[in-house]
Amino acid sequence: MNATPLTASQTTDPLAASAEYALPPATERLASRCAQIGEHAFTSRDYGAIPIRHIVLLRFANHVPTATRESMIERFLRLKDDCLRDGRPYIRSIEHGRQESGEGNGFGFEHAFFMTFDSEGDRNFYVGEPIVHDATCFDPVHHAFKAAIGPLLAPQGVLVFDFFPGAR
């Protein structure tokens, strides 16, 4: 797969949607690696066995009541205990906070979740689709959560960013 270069509107507006840009570089790289080694290896506990951070920013749709938002936040935080591999939790930690910056660059995102996984394989198992398609290779609890929260989010209401601490 060859990624199409960013258009001018995409370089100035990071939230702009465009069909011209099929896959971000990380997505393309991960999908290629998954295809090379297979979904079972890509999601194994020992694949990329160093901690990885997973940041999720959320922006709910305006019509979603506060009680529903709070319920979904609590459900998100429970994923730490509800998401299991071999009968035990595999998410090392989840922290949550509301947007508190006064800089005006929050793009409307309201909630941040900062997660740590012990390995890239655990993160891959957690994330599942769109890269992992075999249902035995991704977490059904997280998969159901994504399906439940998706309709409650504003357009482009989720931003996900993963990184390895200290990597350049």
**Per-10-residue mean pLDDT for the chain, 168 residues long?**
38 47 78 96 96 98 98 98 96 97 93 98 97 97 98 97 90
* Residue (of 156, 153, 148) closest to 62 by Cα position: 153
Give the per-residue pLDDT at 2. Answer: 38
Give the per-residue pLDDT at 119. Answer: 97
CB-based contact 52:123 (threshold 8 Å): yes
Question: Taking the model in full, what pTM does it have?
Answer: 0.83
Q: Which CATH number describes the domain made up of 33-163?
A: 3.30.70.100
Give the per-residue pLDDT at 74. Answer: 98
Give the per-residue pLDDT at 70. Answer: 98
Instruction: Enumerate residues 6+ apart whose C-beta is below 8 A from 113.
Output: 55, 56, 57, 58, 76, 77, 94, 95, 96
> How far is residue 120's CA from residue 57's CA, in Å, rounded to a whole number?
20
